[in-house]
Amino acid sequence: MDQPQNRVFSGVQPTGNLHLGNYLGAIRNFVGLQDTHECIYCVVDMHAITVWQDPKELAANTREVAAAYIAAGIDPERHIVFNQSKVAAHAELAWILNCVARIGWLNRMTQFKDKAGKDREKASVGLYAYPVLMAADILVYRATHVPVGEDQKQHLELARDTAQKFNNDFEAPDFFPQPEPLIMGPATRVMSLRDGTKKMSKSDPSDLSRITMRDSSDDIAKKIRKAQTDPEPLPETLEGLEGRAGADNLVGIYAALAGKSKAEVLAEFAGAQFSVFKPALADLAVEKLSPITNEMKRLMDDRAYIDGVLEKGAARARAIADPVVARVRELVGFI
Ligand code: AQP
């Protein structure tokens, strides 16, 4: 079986409130890989149900993530866009990998600890096993590169360990590649606008904590105006941002949107008060995000088109995944 050298796989959960962190940390980077890699971009609805999802909202949110991919510039003709639950090979390989990965590895996963919170006994088994399904998502395509935000680095390491152990256990050296994380740009971890020490996230109860891909220009401006900062002006150097999480976050967002480094942004705004910097950031955010959010709205109104993209994408995904699972079955000894 030939091993592709430049195959990208990544996904986003359709859990609603798609936000600027998902865009800058992941989706925008997906777009940039299309000229150099063979890309498979998935709406990971099976991951979404590891915490309760209202079925009607799940369907709408699945279409929303697909629309965001396309509106951001992913070309579903050249590359593959689909939703995970349409390709049964993910679940089949996940079961086999559940029998390869070790409980001790999963016990170290910080995202489970964060998401399960204090009442861990009541978390779903799926939430615990989430990183193994993620390993299966990547390995079922024998993908070599995985663009993700910082927060997914630990899960990627588990995918690598699982691939290695499978290859060793079944005496199939190099069958699964070691997938490389691609953590790119100055916004690999966009923080909450209400608390610069917490990741911007879909599940934060405060809508003011995130800029979403549904926000109007007014919403964006309001959220940036209300973003938590401090009374000091912007410093001249990166060291001057230390201990100023809110300021650091806004400078990082500006840098990512402008395609500059944080140092370049500081060179431009050194000494500026937030009363100057925040409106500049709001204008930039509206300029960069509005074309995408408007296109998303247009696509969301064309349900037949989105559903057609997901259907065709799933058929192409199956054509890659099914032979990999067939070989895995042989290696494991299933008849
Ligand atoms: N704040 C972030 N900064 C940069 N990248 C981020 N990503 C998520 N949050 C940030 C990246 O977006 C991709 C898709 O994430 P996901 O939807 O699959 O899962 P998540 O990381 O659990 O997303 P959220 O928004 O944080 O949801 P909740 O609130 O459920 O925890 C991934 O590549 C991720 O790294």
Distance 22 CA to ligand 1 centre (A): 5
For 27-102, where are the alpha helices, taking DSSP H only? Answer: 28-32, 45-48, 55-72, 89-98
Q: Quick check: CB of 110 below 6 Å from ligand 1?
A: no
Distance (Å, rounded) from C-alpha 314 to C-alpha 46? 14
* pLDDT higher than threshold 90 for residue 21: yes
Judge whether residue 326 has pLDDT over 80: yes
- The secondary structure of the chain in percent helix, strand, coil, rounded to multiples of 5, reads 60, 10, 35
Please state the CATH superfamily assignment of the domain spanning residues 7-188+303-332 in this structure: HUPs (3.40.50.620)
Of 185, 205, 189, the residue nearest 197 (C-alpha): 189
Q: Which two tokens stand for residue 295?
A: 């296109």
Q: Give 7 or 188, the one with higher predicted confidence.
A: 7
What pLDDT score was predicted for residue 321?
98
The candidate with the shortest Cα–Cα distance to 176, out of 215, 210, 135, 229, is: 135
**Domains 7-188+303-332 and 207-297 alike in fold:** no
| Element spanning 78, H or E | none
Q: DSSP secondary structure string, 157-199? A: HHHHHHHHHHHHHTT-TTSS--PEEE--SS-SSPBPSS-TTSB
Does the beta carbon of 84 sit less than 6 angstroms from any atom of ligand 1?
Answer: no
**Long-range contact set of residues 163-171: C-beta below 8 Å, sequence gap at least 24:** 163/135, 163/139, 165/100, 165/101, 166/97, 166/100, 166/139, 169/100, 170/331, 170/332
Q: Where are the domains positioned within the chain?
A: 7-188+303-332, 207-297
Give 118's pLDDT tier (boundaries 50, 70, 90). confident
200 Cβ inside 6 Å of ligand 1: yes
Cβ distance 50 to 127 under 8 Å? yes
pLDDT tens-digit map of 27-55: 999 999 999 999 999 999 999 999 999 99
Pocket test residue of 33, 62, 202, 214 for ligand 1, highest count of atoms within 8 A of CB: 202
| Between 17 and 13, residue with greater pLDDT | 13
CATH level 3 topology of 207-297? Tyrosyl-Transfer RNA Synthetase (1.10.240)
What mean pLDDT value characterizes the chain? 96
Predicted pLDDT of residue 210? 98
Q: Is the pLDDT reported for residue 186 higher than 80?
A: no
Residue to mutate, 151, 156, 198, 250, ligand 1, most ligand atoms under 8 Å from C-beta: 151
Answer yes or no: is the C-beta of 148 below 6 A from any ligand 1 atom: yes
16 lines ligand 1 (CB under 6 A): no
Question: What is the pLDDT at residue 187?
Answer: 83
Residues with catalytic function: 115, 199, 202
Residue 247 pLDDT > 90: yes
The token duo for 144 is: 């070599």
